[in-house]
Amino acid sequence: MRHVARALHEIRVSLTAAGWIWLGLSVTGPPPPPADQPPTGPPEGHPERLRPDVPLTPGEAALQRQLTGRWP
């Protein structure tokens, strides 16, 4: 009976931990970014970061005008 009680206790602890993670209530996650700083984009060397030495294609320039309202 002691083994059954121990197993049920471990199952309860595991399910509780999984529920906290699923709900996003874990306190071990990274802190949120400060609200006063705008996002800066991908870090240096990231494959999605724009290269300043390569001009935008016409389609990319049109998308930038639509999104920012200014020319590159």
43 pLDDT above the threshold of 80: no
* Cβ proximity of 65 and 71 under 8 Å: yes
Ranges of each domain in the chain: 1-26
**Mean per-residue pLDDT, 26-32:** 58
Q: Tell me the CA distances in angstroms from 30 to 12, 24, 26, 35, one per residue in order.
A: 26, 12, 10, 15
pLDDT band for position 26 (cuts 50, 70, 90): low
Model confidence at 44, pLDDT cuts 50, 70, 90, reads confident
Please report which confidence band the pLDDT of residue 58 belongs to, taking 50, 70 and 90 as the band edges. Answer: very high
User: C-alpha 33: how far from its chain's center?
Assistant: 11
- What pTM, to 2 d.p., does this model score? 0.34
Distance set, CA 3 to CA 7, 8, 13, 14 (Å): 6, 9, 15, 16
Q: In this structure, is the dihedral angle defined by the CA atoms of residues 58, 59, 62 and 64, taken in order, positive or negative? A: negative
